[in-house]
């Protein structure tokens, strides 16, 4: 019997992405897998059932889809009902968000489900094609630039008109990771004058390569795996003070600063917002983990002292077609090495990409930080 790979329709409110697309489905079929989709799984991403190869099968019932599936591909973490519908020993791959849903991890453990969290894939060169954090952050950064232009009371580009010359807007992007660099590139393409800042001095060259000015402060925070380390309270206070003067000179501020597994650092204080010019826009891409601005309300757009603070959630879902295409290819690149030429499953636990991204296996929580959180450090 061929391995049955199932892809359900996402049921998390607001989630429009899907974990497969037609070209990727064809690749799975050529690998010898049986591919089963829930009917309408890709509708919200404008990927319709008729786009898929004719060998792909479709299921009517959401939970029934899980019953005989050997491998399940997801975007959002499976709910407890979805986990209960899986057969013991099945494999589920997606963005598991274990820190947010410990009760779901416990259920995966109890059902002896093998789960892989795509957000835990190590950020090494070999795994770049599997890096969902980067692929989805590029979507978020692009959208952040568009949001800033849409919410601003100013044109982004310089315009020469019969009524006179309109000066370009000034944009400051905080955080020069994948999202920040994409936000910089988008704001530049829209014609704004752009500045970028990151606590990692190594990003200066990348920021300047996009035509933006790099803002240098006295605080440095080089971390592991391409991330910034968490600042000490004293460093954070100094950073806030130094950044405030720069932020108050810009028309749009886009923040993308995040530390894995921790609440987002509060970079923009209430006092700084109250110093900004009326009509200034803050786009807070860190809203998922609490926001970089003290006044951000995740999922909402608020106005304080005539400053607009936009804190969107699940931004990649706002560009669902391309976000789904990239995510589906990330999954394909992750799963492919586990499938032999004969179409059989072989998991190489000596592969650090596989080992580091495994959340649960054979009744154990394999990811140590999650195990410590749930079991208090017990093995």
Domain boundary pick from 313, 328, 357: 313
**Whether residue 176 is found in the same domain as residue 151:** yes
**Whether residue 186 is found in the same domain as residue 308:** yes
Q: How many domains is the chain partitioned into structurally?
A: 2
Stretches where the chain sits below pLDDT 70 are 220-230, 261, 377-379
Residue 256 belongs to a domain with what CATH number?
A: 3.40.50.720
Is 128 annotated as catalytic? yes
Alpha-carbon distance values, 110 to 62, 99, 175, 228, 377 (Å) = 22, 18, 39, 35, 18
**Whether residue 121 is found in the same domain as residue 144:** no
Q: Which of 27, 123, 229, 275 is catalytic?
A: 123
Is the CB of residue 171 less than 8 Å from the CB of residue 192? yes
Is 351 annotated as catalytic? no
**Whether residue 57 is found in the same domain as residue 116:** yes
Q: Which of 46, 128, 209, 270 is catalytic?
A: 128
Write down how long the chain is: 379
**Whether residue 170 is found in the same domain as residue 248:** yes
**Whether residue 74 is found in the same domain as residue 208:** no
Beta-ladder partners of 321: none
**Whether residue 120 is found in the same domain as residue 235:** no
Cα–Cα distance, 316 to 263 (Å, whole number): 20
**Whether residue 275 is found in the same domain as residue 151:** yes
DSSP letter string, 143-172: HHHHHHHHH-SS-SS-EEETTEEEPPPEEE
Domain residues for 152? Answer: 139-313
**Whether residue 330 is found in the same domain as residue 223:** no
Q: Which of 109, 115, 134, 317 is catalytic?
A: 134
Q: So what's the pLDDT on residue 220?
A: 65
Q: Which of 26, 68, 154, 227 is catalytic?
A: 227
Task: Tell how strand 114-117 and strand 91-94 pair up.
Answer: parallel
Domain boundary pick from 293, 313, 333: 313
**Whether residue 213 is found in the same domain as residue 108:** no
Is 123 annotated as catalytic? yes
Domain boundary pick from 277, 292, 313: 313
Q: So what's the pLDDT on residue 379?
A: 43
**Whether residue 177 is found in the same domain as residue 284:** yes
Alpha-carbon distance values, 9 to 90, 328, 343 (Å) = 18, 14, 25
Is the CB of residue 235 less than 8 Å from the CB of residue 257? no
pTM over 0.75: yes
DSSP letter string, 57-101: EEES-TTHHHHT-SEEE-SSPPPHHHHHHSPTT-EEEE---TTT-
Q: So what's the pLDDT on residue 200?
A: 84
Provide the H-helix boundaries in 111-219: 132-151, 178-189, 204-209
**Whether residue 307 is found in the same domain as residue 354:** no
User: DSSP 3-state assignment of 285?
Assistant: coil
Q: Burial level of 259, CB count in 10 A (0-12/13-18/19+)?
A: middle
């Amino acid at each position: 019997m061929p391995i049955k790979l199932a892809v359900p329709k996402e049921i998390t409110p607001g989630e429009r992405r899907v974990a497969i697309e037609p070209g990727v489905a064809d690749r799975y079929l050529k690998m010898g897998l049986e591919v089963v989709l829930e009917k309408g799984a890709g509708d919200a991403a404008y990927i319709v059932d008729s786009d898929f190869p004719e060998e792909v099968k479709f299921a009517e019932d959401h939970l029934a889809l899980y019953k005989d599936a050997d491998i399940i591909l997801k975007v959002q973490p499976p709910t407890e009902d979805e986990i209960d519908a899986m057969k013991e020993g099945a494999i589920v791959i997606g963005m598991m968000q274990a820190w947010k849903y410990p009760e779901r991890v416990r259920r995966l453990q109890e059902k002896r489900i093998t789960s892989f969290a795509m957000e835990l894939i190590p950020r090494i060169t070999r795994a770049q094609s599997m890096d969902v954090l980067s692929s989805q952050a590029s979507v978020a950064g692009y959208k952040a630039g568009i949001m800033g232009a849409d919410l601003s009371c100013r044109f982004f580009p310089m315009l020469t008109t019969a009524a006179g010359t309109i000066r370009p807007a000034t944009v400051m992007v905080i955080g020069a990771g994948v999202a920040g660099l994409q936000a910089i590139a988008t704001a530049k393409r829209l014609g704004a004058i752009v500045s970028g800042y990151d606590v990692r001095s190594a990003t200066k060259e990348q920021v300047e390569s996009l035509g933006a000015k790099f803002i240098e402060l006295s605080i440095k925070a080089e971390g592991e795996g391409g991330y910034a380390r968490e600042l000490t309270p004293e460093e954070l206070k100094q950073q806030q003070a130094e950044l405030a003067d720069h932020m108050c000179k810009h028309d749009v501020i886009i923040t993308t600063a995040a530390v894995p597994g921790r609440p987002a650092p509060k970079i923009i204080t209430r006092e700084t917002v109250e110093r900004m010019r009326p009509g200034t826009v803050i786009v807070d891409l860190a809203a998922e983990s609490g926001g970089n601005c003290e006044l951000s309300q995740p999922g909402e757009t608020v106005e304080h002292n005539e400053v607009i603070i936009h804190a969107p959630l699940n931004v990649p879902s706002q560009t669902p077609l391309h976000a789904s295409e990239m995510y589906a290819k990330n999954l394909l690149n992750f799963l492919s090495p586990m499938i032999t030429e004969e179409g059989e499953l072989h998991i190489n636990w000596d592969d650090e990409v596989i080992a580091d991204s495994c959340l649960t296996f054979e009744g154990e929580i394999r990811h140590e930080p999650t195990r410590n959180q749930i079991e208090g450090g017990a093995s």
